[in-house]
């Protein structure tokens, strides 16, 4: 049975924001501005995205990330329309008021969730 991306996105929204809402933790993803280009006279703006995420255990993280270890924190965040189309390790995160480096970000094939690996 084929499943459309939109069906998976609706299911992810229902599960993360409904069934697992009690497990959500606030997550802030940001990138400082900078990168001044003297040729154009412009600099890249700062970016800041607030979202809710669900921590996941090492067993699930091993299915997503290569070399998953206890040294990292793994999170799943619902991808709403307000988030950028791509995130990478050049961004940083605040989790529980603590600044953390983003080691890796995966985007699921249905474009419904972000899968984060944060350094402790």
117 pLDDT band (50/70/90 cuts)? very high
Q: Are 51 and 29 in contact (CB under 8 A)?
A: yes
5-119: CATH class: mainly beta
**Mean pLDDT value of segment 56-63:** 90
Q: How confident is the model at residue 1 (pLDDT cuts 50, 70, 90)?
A: low
- Residue 41 pLDDT level (bands cut at 50, 70, 90): confident
Q: Which helix (H) or strand (E) holds 8?
A: helix 5-14
The pLDDT score that the predictor gives to residue 83 is 65
pLDDT of residue 82: 57
């Amino acid at each position: 049975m084929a499943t459309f991306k939109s069906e998976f996105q609706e299911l992810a929204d229902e599960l993360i924001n409904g069934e697992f809402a009690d497990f959500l933790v606030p997550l802030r993803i940001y990138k400082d501005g900078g990168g001044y280009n003297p040729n154009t006279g412009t600099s890249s703006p700062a970016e800041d995205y607030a979202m809710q995420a669900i921590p996941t255990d090492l067993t699930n993280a091993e299915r997503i990330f290569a070399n998953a270890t206890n040294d990292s924190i793994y999170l799943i965040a619902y991808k709403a329309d307000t988030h950028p189309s791509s995130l990478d390790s050049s961004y940083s995160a605040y989790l529980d008021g603590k600044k953390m480096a983003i080691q890796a970000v995966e985007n699921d094939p249905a474009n419904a969730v972000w899968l984060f690996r944060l350094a402790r």
